A and B are shown apart, each in its own frame.
Chain A
Protein backbone atom coordinates (compact mmCIF):
# COMPACT_ATOMS: atom_id res chain seq x y z
CA UNK A 1 0.00 0.00 0.00
CA UNK A 2 1.57 3.31 -1.07
CA UNK A 3 1.99 5.98 1.53
CA UNK A 4 0.56 9.45 0.99
CA UNK A 5 1.73 12.57 2.69
CA UNK A 6 -0.94 15.26 2.68
CA UNK A 7 -0.97 18.70 4.23
CA UNK A 8 -3.61 19.64 6.82
CA UNK A 9 -5.56 21.47 4.14
CA UNK A 10 -5.45 18.65 1.57
CA UNK A 11 -6.54 16.06 4.16
CA UNK A 12 -9.40 18.25 5.39
CA UNK A 13 -10.46 18.94 1.78
CA UNK A 14 -10.54 15.22 1.02
CA UNK A 15 -12.47 14.46 4.21
CA UNK A 16 -15.01 17.18 3.36
CA UNK A 17 -15.41 15.83 -0.17
CA UNK A 18 -16.09 12.21 0.81
CA UNK A 19 -18.40 13.23 3.66
CA UNK A 20 -20.35 15.63 1.42
CA UNK A 21 -20.91 12.87 -1.16
CA UNK A 22 -22.37 10.49 1.45
CA UNK A 23 -24.46 13.21 3.14
CA UNK A 24 -25.88 14.25 -0.22
CA UNK A 25 -26.77 10.68 -1.19
CA UNK A 26 -28.39 9.59 2.09
CA UNK A 27 -30.16 12.82 3.01
CA UNK A 28 -31.94 13.87 -0.17
CA UNK A 29 -33.92 11.96 -2.80
CA UNK A 30 -33.85 13.75 -6.13
CA UNK A 31 -30.62 14.04 -8.15
CA UNK A 32 -30.65 17.85 -8.18
CA UNK A 33 -31.38 18.01 -4.45
CA UNK A 34 -28.59 15.55 -3.71
CA UNK A 35 -26.04 17.56 -5.68
CA UNK A 36 -27.22 20.82 -4.15
CA UNK A 37 -27.09 19.42 -0.61
CA UNK A 38 -23.69 17.81 -1.20
CA UNK A 39 -22.32 21.16 -2.36
CA UNK A 40 -23.93 22.88 0.62
CA UNK A 41 -22.29 20.43 3.07
CA UNK A 42 -18.95 20.82 1.30
CA UNK A 43 -19.32 24.62 1.51
CA UNK A 44 -20.08 24.40 5.24
CA UNK A 45 -16.94 22.30 5.77
CA UNK A 46 -14.88 24.86 3.88
CA UNK A 47 -16.39 27.73 5.85
CA UNK A 48 -15.61 25.97 9.13
CA UNK A 49 -12.12 25.07 7.89
CA UNK A 50 -11.18 28.64 6.95
CA UNK A 51 -13.08 30.17 9.89
CA UNK A 52 -11.35 27.97 12.47
CA UNK A 53 -8.03 28.38 10.69
CA UNK A 54 -8.19 32.17 10.94
CA UNK A 55 -9.51 31.96 14.52
CA UNK A 56 -6.50 29.89 15.54
CA UNK A 57 -4.19 32.24 13.63
CA UNK A 58 -5.48 35.29 15.49
CA UNK A 59 -5.77 33.37 18.77
CA UNK A 60 -2.09 32.60 18.59
CA UNK A 61 -1.28 36.32 18.63
Chain B
Protein backbone atom coordinates (compact mmCIF):
# COMPACT_ATOMS: atom_id res chain seq x y z
CA UNK B 1 0.00 0.00 0.00
CA UNK B 2 1.31 3.42 -0.91
CA UNK B 3 2.43 5.56 2.00
CA UNK B 4 0.19 8.52 2.65
CA UNK B 5 1.97 11.80 2.13
CA UNK B 6 1.89 14.07 5.15
CA UNK B 7 0.78 17.61 4.24
CA UNK B 8 3.69 20.03 4.33
CA UNK B 9 3.47 22.33 7.34
CA UNK B 10 3.65 26.04 6.56
CA UNK B 11 6.77 27.88 7.68
CA UNK B 12 6.02 29.84 10.88
CA UNK B 13 6.76 33.60 10.86
CA UNK B 14 10.39 34.53 11.38
CA UNK B 15 9.76 36.53 14.57
CA UNK B 16 8.27 33.47 16.27
CA UNK B 17 11.34 31.26 16.04
CA UNK B 18 14.34 33.43 15.12
CA UNK B 19 15.01 34.87 18.63
CA UNK B 20 14.99 31.39 20.18
CA UNK B 21 17.25 29.93 17.49
CA UNK B 22 19.77 32.81 17.54
CA UNK B 23 19.86 32.85 21.37
CA UNK B 24 20.27 29.07 21.30
CA UNK B 25 23.20 29.41 18.94
CA UNK B 26 24.99 32.09 20.95
CA UNK B 27 24.29 30.58 24.39
CA UNK B 28 23.82 26.81 24.33
CA UNK B 29 20.40 26.12 25.88
CA UNK B 30 19.50 29.83 25.65
CA UNK B 31 16.70 29.16 23.15
CA UNK B 32 15.02 26.75 25.57
CA UNK B 33 15.49 29.25 28.40
CA UNK B 34 13.76 31.91 26.30
CA UNK B 35 10.90 29.48 25.68
CA UNK B 36 10.62 28.88 29.44
CA UNK B 37 11.99 25.32 29.38
CA UNK B 38 14.43 26.10 32.16
CA UNK B 39 15.48 22.57 33.19
CA UNK B 40 16.12 21.51 29.60
CA UNK B 41 18.03 24.75 29.04
CA UNK B 42 20.23 24.03 32.06
CA UNK B 43 20.93 20.46 30.96
CA UNK B 44 21.80 21.56 27.42
CA UNK B 45 24.06 24.35 28.70
CA UNK B 46 25.81 21.96 31.09
CA UNK B 47 26.37 19.28 28.43
CA UNK B 48 27.38 21.50 25.49
CA UNK B 49 29.53 24.02 27.36
CA UNK B 50 31.00 21.17 29.43
CA UNK B 51 31.99 19.31 26.29
CA UNK B 52 33.45 22.47 24.78
CA UNK B 53 35.49 23.23 27.93
CA UNK B 54 36.85 19.70 28.04
CA UNK B 55 37.81 20.13 24.36
CA UNK B 56 39.78 23.26 25.31
CA UNK B 57 41.37 21.58 28.33
CA UNK B 58 42.43 18.67 26.13
CA UNK B 59 44.02 21.25 23.81
CA UNK B 60 41.92 20.30 20.80
CA UNK B 61 42.57 22.10 17.53
CA UNK B 62 40.07 24.52 15.99
CA UNK B 63 39.44 23.96 12.29
CA UNK B 64 40.15 26.69 9.74
CA UNK B 65 38.66 26.76 6.24
CA UNK B 66 41.16 25.43 3.73
CA UNK B 67 41.26 24.94 0.00
CA UNK B 68 42.68 21.85 -1.67
CA UNK B 69 41.13 18.57 -2.70
CA UNK B 70 37.45 17.89 -2.06
CA UNK B 71 38.02 15.88 1.13
CA UNK B 72 40.26 18.59 2.61
CA UNK B 73 37.65 21.24 1.82
CA UNK B 74 34.78 19.20 3.33
CA UNK B 75 36.69 18.27 6.49
CA UNK B 76 38.14 21.71 7.18
CA UNK B 77 35.15 23.87 6.28
CA UNK B 78 32.77 21.37 7.94
CA UNK B 79 34.93 21.41 11.06
CA UNK B 80 35.13 25.20 11.00
CA UNK B 81 31.34 25.60 10.81
CA UNK B 82 30.82 22.91 13.46
CA UNK B 83 33.26 24.65 15.81
CA UNK B 84 31.47 27.95 15.21
CA UNK B 85 28.08 26.35 15.90
CA UNK B 86 29.04 26.24 19.59
CA UNK B 87 28.30 30.01 19.64
CA UNK B 88 29.77 32.35 22.24
CA UNK B 89 32.09 29.76 23.82
CA UNK B 90 33.82 29.49 20.41
CA UNK B 91 34.03 33.25 19.88
CA UNK B 92 35.25 33.91 23.43
CA UNK B 93 37.93 31.22 23.11
CA UNK B 94 39.20 32.59 19.79
CA UNK B 95 39.00 36.23 20.93
CA UNK B 96 41.03 35.33 24.01
CA UNK B 97 43.67 33.93 21.70
CA UNK B 98 43.08 30.19 21.92
CA UNK B 99 44.99 28.72 19.05
CA UNK B 100 46.17 25.15 19.22
CA UNK B 101 47.94 23.63 16.28
CA UNK B 102 46.98 20.12 15.21
CA UNK B 103 49.47 17.86 16.95
CA UNK B 104 49.69 14.10 17.26
CA UNK B 105 48.33 12.37 20.34
CA UNK B 106 45.06 10.84 21.39
CA UNK B 107 44.23 13.54 23.97
CA UNK B 108 44.56 16.37 21.41
CA UNK B 109 42.62 14.32 18.90
CA UNK B 110 39.77 13.73 21.38
CA UNK B 111 39.87 17.44 22.24
CA UNK B 112 39.35 18.37 18.58
CA UNK B 113 36.39 15.98 18.42
CA UNK B 114 34.96 17.41 21.64
CA UNK B 115 35.07 20.95 20.19
CA UNK B 116 33.36 19.85 16.97
CA UNK B 117 30.92 17.63 18.88
CA UNK B 118 29.86 20.51 21.14
CA UNK B 119 28.97 22.59 18.06
CA UNK B 120 27.02 19.75 16.47
CA UNK B 121 25.10 19.08 19.69
CA UNK B 122 24.26 22.78 19.78
CA UNK B 123 22.82 22.47 16.26
CA UNK B 124 20.51 19.72 17.61
CA UNK B 125 19.51 22.00 20.49
CA UNK B 126 18.80 24.84 18.03
CA UNK B 127 16.59 22.59 15.89
CA UNK B 128 14.71 21.52 19.04
CA UNK B 129 14.26 25.18 20.07
CA UNK B 130 12.93 25.93 16.57
CA UNK B 131 10.39 23.10 16.77
CA UNK B 132 9.19 24.20 20.20
CA UNK B 133 8.95 27.86 19.12
CA UNK B 134 7.09 26.88 15.95
CA UNK B 135 4.60 24.84 17.98
CA UNK B 136 5.58 21.52 16.43
CA UNK B 137 6.59 20.17 19.83
CA UNK B 138 5.04 20.98 23.17
Interface residues of A (CB under 8 A from B): 1-6, 8, 11-12, 14-15, 18-19, 21-23, 25-26, 29
Contacts and interface: CB of A to CB of B under 8 A. Distances in A.
6 contacts: A6-B58, A6-B110, A21-B44, A21-B47, A23-B124, A26-B125
B65 interface: no
Contacts, number: 68
Secondary structure dominating the interface of B: helix
A22 B107 contact: no
B107 A1 contact: no
B124 A22 contact: yes
A12 B54 CA distance: 12
Contact of B44 (A2, A6, A11, A22): A22
A2 B57 contact: yes
Contacts of B35: none
